[in-house]
Structure 1
Amino acid sequence: MLLYFPRRLWGNIPIPLILAFLLCGMGILPAQAPKLPPDLKLHARVNQYDAEHFNLLTNRYSTPLQAGNNPLALPGSAWAIQLDLEPLPGQPDVLEGTATFICQSGQTPSASVSIDFEFSDWSTDNYVLMPGAVYNGNRFPYRRIRYSPKLLDPRDIGPDIPTIISDVPKLNVSDGPSRIQQRTGDMTLPAIGFHQPQKQQGVWLLTPPQTRLGDSGIDITENRNRDKATISLTAPVVREQYKYRITDSRWPSDDIPADFTAGDTVQITFQLHLFSAPELQRLFDYYTDIRKSYLPAGEHRLILPFSEAFPVQEAKFNRLNWEDEHGYYSVGPRNMFLQDWQIGWTGGMISTLPLLWEGHDTTRQRVLRQFDWLFPDGLAPSGLFWDSGEHGDQWYGGDIRKPHTKNWHLIRKSGDGLYYVLKQLMLMDSLGITPKPNWVAGTQGVADALVKIWDDHGQFGHFVDNPSGEVAVGGSTSGGIIPAALTLAASYFDEPAYLETAKAAGRYYYKNYIQRGLTNGGPGDAMQNPDSESCYALIESYASLYEATGNTEWLQMGEDIARQFATWVIAYDYPFPENSLFGREGMHSMGAVNANTQNKHGAPGICTHSGQALLKLYRATGDAFYAELLQDIARNMPQYLPHPLNPIEGTKEGWMCERVSTTDWLEGIGEISYLTTWSETALMLTYVEIPGLYVQPDRGICIPFDHVEVRSQTETAEALEVVLHNPTEGVANVRILVENAADRARPLGELALWNTSTTTLKPGESRTLQFKK
């Protein structure tokens, strides 16, 4: 675990307030009395439900909640609610509270208890954020279409449509009831925040994931006039009548209320943050500084070094994914077209980068065969890559299951394809392999086609017509990786025009999406729901633009979107049920990346990248937050890979599921589908693009990203000495990237780990390493 003081939190606190914090902590100054803003009132509530009618709310009994004892009388029972509310020392705008609900007499069956935070002076302009689950209240037009949803109504289709999402928990964009009911596991941190633009203020409310009754609920409800909103913390979670199941927010509720009798108690604890927020970005910045400050620290489960994982993955790709007749690696078992070939998103020309980099001779020759297979047949008449295909010689423009979308090419797929093909062409140069002219020409043709789309439409869209290149559906950040791809193309082909388009697109995405707190359209199966995939892709683009130009404009944009991306990464270890698969296997959730607001699961890794842009931001800024975030993501992944050293009940060796389910959106909490997925590629990419050990000797910094530990480190004037330990049962071949100030002044680039040094540690072995300053 990295230790650091959050720059954006502490940097704005006056020195006298820091002194007051220290003095209060030593008992020299008295703690300040709790103070709530005038537009906030607290209430305690006991609720009763009709379980036979899917938890229809039948009774609710409420009382104003103040510090001290608060009695509440119900028919058949008497309650007392004790509220303890105190400011954090030296931080009067951060309140910690515990409400203890005590059933003093009688019985209250089929019930739950709640704290209500009622905010007056509310507005629909407020941006509501529930990390990894709700962005801007999910207050967008929606369509109730079963999975995998695509827009159906011709009035919804076109280059200039508004953002339209699938049927997920959301605040109402129109008149009528407006409410979101969530269980704590829905979020990457059990928290809800909002930004008030008129008042330039922000609020964050945090709570533990569970009480003694199990998972809790976090709800937000707006009144009819939308001038009040109530945020509720409820134990246990009871969603009234309906819960969410994939693409359907009206699935019957099966939550189980509690039966209270005399003497029963339950505590709801929380932390409330009130802060100045002149701009929306402050809501995200503040979150990243507190995301690990409240709940117990999560742990990295170190069981499988990257170097042990890769041979099993390579063998699986050669055993299952290789199609020998035509010569290509499919993205899956080829049981349907999306499990046969896709150029990007879930594999395709992304998977071949680590296979070319680290694979044995047979694997490398197969990758080169795949280039022969792809060029020129894998190129559509528009110059873009074909979206997908099957059987090695059938190429598709889009989703052939829905006739009106049969040519809808998810634009991020050509962006992914261009980005990773260019990396492989560069790697071939390092391997002494001469790329064939038609490979190079075809790749440049994709870059030209993307520039033409931009020139014609001023956007890359969400879906484009694969044969023509015309934007079919606009309004998204699906093309978030394209500025990175064009920046790389500008360098590889020595064509400045590509860089100019990348810059224009980068500014467009920042102004129209990032400043609104919205990224969407990365997945091909989630309509235009907010998502983590296009969010991370934009970090790659801004990091690439910064390294190519040295202009800090791109660095600031990269930092802003990286802190938005952090809301998608699980910040703690969710307590999986002991009888679930993940509970039995001892899985840790911290570092899993939530997919989008529709497919409500974490995932091992970023779809589909290594996270190297976070390392680029860390090098450029020195802000340890980016390194810690990357460390959480990288170290989280190997535990989900079925491996001889890590057998997972019911799974096949090398088959890595994309699901880390901390909520009940589909398979169940802590359960998976037994699939082979893109997460395998993300883990392989991590091995070749993220150093197992990153060292800055001149700053005394040593960060392990692999499953190894830094046991100790000492410094002299000339060197940094580190004791590196392998706690696993596998052999760890650890790639080491060492950088002093002069090294960090240069761009990291795309092949940073090529020819870096490696140290080998046997199981349980420790080794002392020295690095010159």
Structure 2
Amino acid sequence: MRYIFFFFFHYFPKQALLLVMILLLVQAKTKAQIPDDIAMWLKKNNADIRYSINQYDFSRFNVLIDHASSALNGYLQRQDFKGSTWEVYSKAEHANNIQDAVDFSIRFKCISGHLRQSAVAADIDFSSWSEKNYVLLPGAVYNGNRFEWRRLRYSPKLYEVQDIGIDKPIIVSDIPKLSESGGVSRIQERSGSMSTPAIGFRADSSAKGIWILTHQGNSLGDYGINIEENRARDHAIITINSPVVHEQYTYFANDAHYPSQDKPHDFNAGDEVIITFRMYGFEAPEVQSLFNKLTIIRKDLVGDSSITQKLTFSESMRTLEDKFNKVNFVDKYGYYSVGLRENFLQDWQIGWTGGMISTYPLLFAGNAETRKNVLRNFDWLFLNGISPSGFYYDAGKDGTIWYGGDIRKPHTHNWHLIRKSADAVYYITKQFMLMQKMGVYVKPYWKDGNKKVCDAFVNLWYKNHQIGQFIDSNTGEIVVGGSSSGGILPAALALASQYYRNPAYMDVAKQVAGYYNENFTRKGITCGGPGDALQNIDSESSYALVESYTTLYELTGDKQWLNDAENAARQFSSWVVSYNYKFPAKSSFDQIGIRTTGAVYANTQNKHAAPAICTFSGQALLKLYRFTGDVFYIGLLYDVAHNMPQYLPHPENKLEDATYGYMSERISMTDWQGLDKIGALLKMSTWAETGLMLTNIEIPGLYVCPDDNYFVAFDSIVVTVKSQDEKQLILQLKNPTKVVADVSVLEDKAKNKIMGENYLYGCEKVNLKPGETKELIFKKSVLGQGKQD
């Protein structure tokens, strides 16, 4: 070869020089030219990035029939594919002021021809992979959803004999998942399925972490976000595609093998689309590291996360109190149903969807008639509502019929979701404490009945050293074991220990909390909270553990519980929507102007966000801020609390023709019930109403730390600093809504002092008419140089 070059240079020097220049230019255009430091960074993280242009056969449910792919080189690349010609330009650069983060952009332009039924994609190939890696798609996939699974229709209950028992593994429904037992291992999601459009993992062997964040989508709508493992499980490819195309199957309500409905795009000459994403690499000594990193970056790329101010907390409470008295209260027997009683699920269920939870805010903030109804509810429950096992009956109907399980599934006869009794003990004990403050007589048989349930929990723990998910209402035996279904139990028993002055309850509370921390929180999974989702990973038990660990720290002062609470809170944040989803044009939520920041995804089976935490106010997040000074927790609570009122139909907040006071639980940002349901308004009455009422009584409308010049307005008001000096802080409050605001004000001058329960009872209230402005003066106890929000 060198003799040939010598011949050309000797006899045709000009032509030879031109040839060399052409060869060098071609090499420069084809050689990977991503900046050397970024190339080394990718290599350090065992990653290689390619682009691809894919063609599908829609008639065969989007089977991939052909594709063209090439490594990114950082320059303009030309790609001929199936009669079309493309220019692909890629760019990689370090993210501004962010260590170990790189921004990637890939622009695809069809410059000639056309390509039907297609999509473009960025493929990130990770080597040195292991199926031990923890994979996380916030709100959708936890530990790869790599659990045993069963294909059961909604509402699923374990059925086979071999699946039912005390020592069985976590079993989930048929959801998008990586395989736990060999075979095809692939997850195909769309960006709206996640609380933040992102995918991350912790590499087990290297203790390194990766996060890939992107936007919701581009001009072609939502992105697809996929991960696929190879047969040997030593490689995995993460793909961001545009538009979303599920190959062959998509997820549809308990069925991950539903035929794909996506329509690939028809590209013509001149069409252009851009895929952008940011990739982070970091040290991840434990699974918790993955969640900790997410809390820092979850809002980095999402864009708009602004809130809306439509209804105030107090007006929402007035609307719901009126609705509960007119529609939910069954005067014949004296109880508040959890719904409209249109079916057996909407009559009576204790805990979970609102039974003996809704009575708490109604007692706290209701009028005389309401409080009378609440006390009748206590009479009704404690006369017959405790089962032979000592736990509360799971459900009931028509005021006199008590039962457990799902009447549509006879084998579940007498099953009791253990979370329901734990919820009941927690909220009933809080109400007993409130009654003491209010001067309301607590009848001995109410007190004894609740204590009987506490004792049943103590016996259950010492017999099994777990709480299980379902127990038999007659015998008290665990039917379905495992799970963190009873995540609120440590808080419930800790409060009961205070109220009943029984140290044994606190001992068990600590033991149960330790069990949950070791078996669930430390592993980055929580499950079993909902009664209709098998043991799918869920947000409800996730938050319940935040409340439990925080309560234990508050009552014991043991820093270990504070550490556990912080870990649990950061895990819970992965369920909270971090941005305002752009709904399809002309969908109900698009027309209404719904903003999704602060919505809470339900679980990995029921893939919708909800207006509230089921069924809590989020007060533990405020307490965590006070204990740690970390504004992340109070910011997260701000998003959740501010998100809620916009979903409540009201004369000043009309949601199409939805009935005033009927608040839906569903915010559909994804296609789990069909593409046409994204952004659809489901007109129904749900537990979300109770969540909003709890927020009214447990989250202050205005939280102020005068010494720090710090404040947060949780309610729908605008607060600004009028003046501040060494002696005082003057704030101006304005009501921008068209309804009255009775703003509860919590002035915090002693963060080292525990708040306890019912801390807003009797607090200062500021009445603001629509558009009205008032000033509040807060005296300082020390010289403050603090912050404001």
Name the SS for the 2:504 alignment partner: helix
What does 1:309-458 align with in structure 2 at a 5 Å threshold?
309-458=316-465
Asked if structure 2 preserves the Cα contact closer than 8 Å seen for 1:197 and 1:280, the reply is: no
Aligned to 2:701: 692
**Structure 2 residue 743 is matched with structure 1 residue 734:** yes
Equivalent position amino acid for 1:604 in 2: P
C-alpha displacement of 1:160: 0.5
The 5 Å alignment of 1:187-226 reads 187-226=194-233
**Post-superposition offset of 1:519:** 0.1
CA contact (8 A) 2:173 2:533 kept: yes
d(CA) in 2 for partners of 1:608, 1:481: 11
Trace 1:101-180 onto structure 2 (pairs within 5 A): 101-180=108-187
Distance of 1:31 and 1:86 partners within structure 2: 11
The residue identity in structure 2 corresponding to 1:729 is: K
Which AA in structure 2 matches 1:445?
A: K
Q: Deviations over 1:549-588 (max 9, x none)?
A: 0111100000000000000000000001121110010000
TM-score, scaled to structure 1: 0.95
Offset of 1:89 from its aligned partner?
Answer: 3.7
Distance (whole Å) between structure 2 residues aligned to residue 33 and residue 517 of structure 1: 31
CA contact (8 A) 2:393 2:404 kept: yes
Q: Say whether the 8 Å CA contact 2:583–2:590 is kept in structure 1.
A: yes
Name the SS of the counterpart of 2:492 in structure 1. helix
Find out whether 1:704 has 2:713 as its counterpart.
Answer: yes
Alignment map for 1:649-688 (pairs within 5 Å): 649-666=656-673, 668-688=677-697
Distance 2:168 2:118 in 1: 44
Q: Which amino acid aligns with 1:633?
A: V
Cα offset for 1:197? 2.1
Q: Does the CA-based 8 Å contact 1:31-1:89 persist in structure 2?
A: no
Q: Distance in 1 between matches of 2:38 and 2:418?
A: 55
Moved over 6 A (4+): none
Distance in 2 between the 1:714 and 1:134 partners?
Answer: 48
Letter of the 2:330 partner, please give it: E
Structure 1 counterpart of 2:727, from 709, 718, 739 = 718
SS at 2:560 equivalent: helix
Cα distance in 2 for partners of 1:619, 1:331 equals 33
CA distance in 1, matches of 2:157, 2:629: 42
Deviations 1:181-230 (A, max 9, x none): 01110000110000012101000001111111111100000001110000
Residue 302 of structure 2 contacts residue 578 of structure 2 at CA under 8 Å; is this kept in 1?
A: no
SS at match of 2:452: helix
Question: Is the contact between residue 196 and residue 302 of structure 2 (CA under 8 Å) also seen in structure 1?
Answer: no
- Is 1:490–2:497 an aligned residue pair? yes
Quote the Cα distance in structure 1 between the aligned partners of 2:280 and 2:539. Answer: 25
Deviation of 1:70 after TM superposition, in Å, equals 2.5
Matches of residues 218-617 of structure 1 in structure 2 within 5 Å?
218-617=225-624
Conserved in 1, the CA contact under 8 Å of 2:130 and 2:204? no
C-alpha displacement of 1:455 = 0.6
Equivalence for 1:12: none
- Checking the alignment, whether the CA contact within 8 Å between 1:291 and 1:571 is kept in structure 2 is yes
Cα contact 1:603–1:660 (8 A) shared by 2: yes
Deviations 1:17-58 (A, max 9, x none): xxxxxxxxxxxxx99656312521111100111111221211
Task: Summarize deviations over 1:350-373 as a string: whole Å, max 9, x none.
Answer: 000001111111111011011110
Local SS of the residue matching 2:541: helix
Shift of 1:92: 5.1
CA distance in 2, matches of 1:113, 1:467: 58
**TM-score with structure 2 length normalisation?**
0.93
- In structure 2, C-alpha distance between the alignment counterparts of 1:562 and 1:643, rounded to whole Å: 32
The farther-off stretch of 425-434 and 449-458 is 425-434
Q: What are the ranges of 5 or more consecutive residues in structure 2 without an aligned counterpart?
A: 1-34, 781-789
Q: Which amino acid is 2:632 matched to? A: F
**Quick one: distance in 1 between partners of 2:663 and 2:282?**
42
Greater displacement, 390-399 / 521-530? 390-399
**Which residue of structure 2 lines up, in the alignment, with residue 184 of structure 1?**
191
Distance in 2 (CA, whole Å) between partners of 1:88 and 1:648 is 41
Asked if the contact 1:42–1:66 (Cα under 8 Å) also holds between the matched residues in 2, the reply is: no
CA shift for structure 1 position 662: 0.4
Distance in 2 (alpha carbons) for counterparts of 1:204 and 1:725: 41
Q: Matches of 1:462 and 1:74 in 2, distance apart?
A: 54
- Give the AA of the match of 2:561: W
- Greater displacement, 108-117 / 466-475: 466-475
Residue identity matched to 2:184: P
Distance 1:382 1:627 in 2: 40
Question: 2:703·2:713 contact (CA, 8 Å) conserved in 1?
Answer: yes
* Residue 37 of structure 1: aligned partner: 43
How many angstroms apart in 1 are the aligned matches of 2:333 and 2:772? 45
How far apart, in 2, do the equivalents of 1:86 and 1:453 lie?
A: 57
Contact preservation (8 Å) 1:31, 1:87? no
SS at match of 1:589: coil
Give the whole-Å Cα distance in 2 for the aligned partners of 1:616 and 1:445.
Answer: 30
User: Which residue among 630, 637, 648 is the counterpart of 2:637?
Assistant: 630
Distance 1:713 1:203, change over 3 A: farther
Structure 1 range deviating more: 73-82 or 167-176 = 73-82
Q: Secondary structure at 1:331's aligned position in 2? A: coil
For residue 744 of structure 1, give the secondary structure of its aligned residue in structure 2.
coil
Structure 1 residues not aligned, in runs of 5+? 1-29
- Percent identity between matched residues is 51
1:713 is displaced (CA, Å) by: 4.8
CA shift, 1:391, in A, is 0.6
Are 2:211 and 2:279, in contact at CA under 8 Å, matched by a contact in 1?
A: yes
Distance (Å, rounded) in 1 between the aligned partners of 2:99 and 2:682:
47
CA displacement, residues 300-335 of structure 1 (integer Å, 9 cap, x when unaligned):
111100111111111111111111111100001112
Give the aligned residue type for 1:720: L
- Give 1:663 deviation, angstroms: 0.4
Q: Secondary structure at the match of 1:625?
A: helix
Q: Is the 8 A contact 1:32 1:92 kept in 2?
A: no
Equivalent residues of 1:696, 1:702 under 8 A apart: yes
Give the superposition deviation at 1:376. 3.0
State how far apart, in whole Å, the 1-side matches of 2:37 and 2:722 are: 41
Q: Deviation string for 1:697-733 (max 9, x for gaps)?
A: 1111110111111133532111111111111111111
Instruction: Give, in angstroms, the shift of residue 271 of structure 1.
Output: 0.4
Asked whether the 8 Å contact 1:398–1:466 carries over to 2, the reply is: no
Tell me the number of residue pairs that the alignment of Structure 1 and Structure 2 aligns: 742
Distance in 2 of aligned mates of 1:552 and 1:724:
37
Matched, 1:618 2:620: no
SS of aligned partner of 2:369: helix
Distance 2:268 2:731 in 1: 58
**Is this contact kept in 2: 1:603–1:658, CA < 8 A?**
yes
Q: Is the contact made by 2:389 and 2:475 (CA closer than 8 Å) also made in structure 1?
A: yes
Q: Deviations over 1:381-417 (max 9, x none)?
A: 1111000000101101222221111111000000000
